[in-house]
Structure formats: C-alpha cells, structure tokens
Structure 1
Amino acid sequence: MASTSRTRTGRGRGRGRGRGGRGGGSSSLPPPPSTLPLIIEEFFIVIYEDPLVKKALPKKFADYLDGQEPAKVYLRADCGPRLWTVEVLFDGQGRMYLDKGWENFAIAHGVDFGCFVHFKYEGDDVLTVKVFDGTMCRKYYYYSDDEDTDDESDDDVKPCIHPL
C-alpha cells in the first residue's frame, strides 16, 4: 500500500516530470515567457456590435506587425479558394482595423451578431478565417467557379452555403 500513497502525494515514479519536480526533466521545461519570441499566428474576435462595420483586431496582433503595417490584407475562408481584399486602418495608438472590403466578406460568410470569427495569419498579409455561428458551430461554405474573382460589386455577393 505504500506505493499507492506515494502516487497520491505525487512522489511516485513518473510524477513531477516537466513541471520542475524530482523527475529530472528540467531540460524539457519551456523557456521563461520573456525569452520566447513573439509569434501571433491565431486570434479571434467576437461580434458584439454591427457585423458590417470596421472590426478591431487584437492589439497584440497589431504589435506583432509593428513596422510591417500593411495597407490591406487578404482574407480567405478556410475552405474556399477566393481571397477577399480588405483595407486595413491603423489608428496611431496601436490598434488595427479591418475596413473597406470587410463588409463584403462578412455578408458572403454570414457573419452576424454573436458570431465567433477565428483568424490564422499565414504570412504575406493573408489571414485564413473560420466563422462560428451563435451556437458555436462552425459555418461551411460552397464556392462555385464564378466566385474566384475579387470584384467589389455588392450585387454579386451572396451568402455561402454548406453542401451537405
């Protein structure tokens, strides 16, 4: 029974490794946060206000792009081939906004109040986007061949649907 009590107290074999315990696994510990490089690849926003107006991106992501502030980014729904050109605004106080072009993307992908929008920075000013609805379920989209062009006409913007 002694081995059982040791396991419960965390002194048994295999306990404490990777957490600075007695397992000797101190080399597997991650470096302290101050020594890690700042890499912001993924972030999300929750749509609490008008989904069609410019959207603020996290300040930490704007800080990551410091010195490389693009005039525009390209959004791609993660399951679609089309790149949507969206102008970017920086307010001089470290905030970054998706502006002109965001409305077309939001309409075409059903972004609405309560949606959770996940972004993944792919580099070269490209952000892959996943949209989750108010039930926290992911939205999927169908793209036809005629949607491969990036025109600005609202007449051609239609909500995408998931083929079941």
Structure 2
Amino acid sequence: MASTPRTRTGRGRGRGRGSGSSSLPPPPSTLPLIIEEFFIVVYEDPLVKKVRTPKKFADYLDGKEPAKVYLRAADCGPRLWTVEVLFDGQGRMYLDKGWEKFAIAHGVDFGWFVHFKYEGDDVLTVKVFDGTMCRRYYYSDDEDTDDESDDDVKPCIHPL
C-alpha cells in the first residue's frame, strides 16, 4: 500500500500570520545608528583633567559636537555638573574641565565603571558602579543647582 504525502495546514511552528509577509526587523546594517548609552572603566587616575568617551558616541554626535555637556547623577536631584568637551580632530571626544569636580564629588576611583545615558540637549545621566560592581546611590543635600561656582565641590552624599 502506497502512502500519501501529508500537507501542512499552516498551524505549525514557524508560520506567521497574514498573507505571508515577513514581520522580521530589518537587518542591523539598515537601522540608524543610535548610541544613547555607554560606559567607561576607570583604568587611570579618575582625577585627571579629561576622560575619553567611546569613539562610537563621538561619531554619533558628528555634526552636532557640543562645547560642553551637563552631567546629572542618577538619583541625586536636579543638579547639573557642567563639563567642557574636547574633540581632537581624529574622531575622539573627551570630557575635560569639570570632569574632575564630578569625579571628586562622587568618589570615583580606580576600577570603577561609570555608565552614561545621553538624554538629549547635551545632558548625560550618570550611574557610578564601584569596585565591587555594585551601583553607588547618592542623594543631594544642597538646594543649589547652579554649577557655575568654582568656590568648592558640593558633593552628592553616598549613604553608608
């Protein structure tokens, strides 16, 4: 007795709905480059004058390079730290004057990770992870949100 081939009814695995059009996303090479988040690992003295950001982030800002950015520590109130930005002409971007004050106020040290999220309008929200790879949480005890004063560094406080 000969066997008859079975036909599929369209209810099996791997079948999509509709008229057969694919619902797969476009290949990565056709998607726009959006770099909203990056991190740096502190391998050198965190109190150096400047810190290099990833090249892809600098490339993302190509054509709209800011002269300064504003750092906001996540969960540390509305305070913005003004940090000047340098571009070296070879596609690299550095956080320069103002980075040292931010690092001191947040206790950034060797082996720490600093996560940045670009919020637009030249604002970067920052999360700091210490040498144990745990996030440091801060709170602000000052009402002043103006960072233009060079008198002293007003730190965000890390509860012990």
The TM tier, using the shorter chain, reads 0.7 to 0.9
| Distance change (3 Å), C-alpha of 1:67 and 1:157 | same
Post-superposition offset of 1:157 = 1.9
Q: State whether residues 108 and 157 of structure 1, in contact with CA within 8 Å, keep that contact through their aligned partners in structure 2.
A: yes
| Distance change (3 Å), C-alpha of 1:7 and 1:49 | farther
Post-superposition offset of 1:136 = 0.3
3-state secondary structure, aligned to 2:135: coil
Post-superposition offset of 1:161 = 2.7
| Distance change (3 Å), C-alpha of 1:158 and 1:23 | same
- The answer to whether the aligner puts 1:75 opposite 2:59 as a matched pair is no
**Fraction of identical pairs, as percent:** 94
Q: State whether residues 68 and 84 of structure 2, in contact with CA within 8 Å, keep that contact through their aligned partners in structure 1.
A: yes
Q: State whether residues 17 and 24 of structure 1, in contact with CA within 8 Å, keep that contact through their aligned partners in structure 2.
A: no
Q: State whether residues 17 and 25 of structure 1, in contact with CA within 8 Å, keep that contact through their aligned partners in structure 2.
A: no
3-state secondary structure, aligned to 1:60: helix
Post-superposition offset of 1:151 = 3.8
- Structure 2 distance, partners of 1:156, 1:129, is 21
The higher radius of gyration belongs to 2
Post-superposition offset of 1:120 = 0.2
Stretch deviating more after TM superposition (44-53 or 151-160): 151-160
Task: Give per-residue Cα distances to partners, 1:28-60, cap 9 Å, x unaligned.
Answer: 322111110110010000000010124440000
3-state secondary structure, aligned to 2:7: helix
- The answer to whether the aligner puts 1:8 opposite 2:5 as a matched pair is no
Q: State whether residues 18 and 26 of structure 1, in contact with CA within 8 Å, keep that contact through their aligned partners in structure 2.
A: no
Task: Give per-residue Cα distances to partners, 1:110-164, cap 9 Å, x unaligned.
Answer: 111001000000000000000000000000x544453533345666325433347
Q: How many residue pairs end up in the alignment?
A: 158
3-state secondary structure, aligned to 1:63: helix
Q: State whether residues 45 and 116 of structure 1, in contact with CA within 8 Å, keep that contact through their aligned partners in structure 2.
A: yes
Q: State whether residues 117 and 126 of structure 2, in contact with CA within 8 Å, keep that contact through their aligned partners in structure 1.
A: yes
- Structure 2 distance, partners of 1:6, 1:69, is 63
CA RMSD of aligned residues (A): 5.3
Stretch deviating more after TM superposition (24-33 or 68-77): 24-33
- Structure 2 distance, partners of 1:44, 1:4, is 61
Q: Which runs of 5+ in 1 are unaligned?
A: none
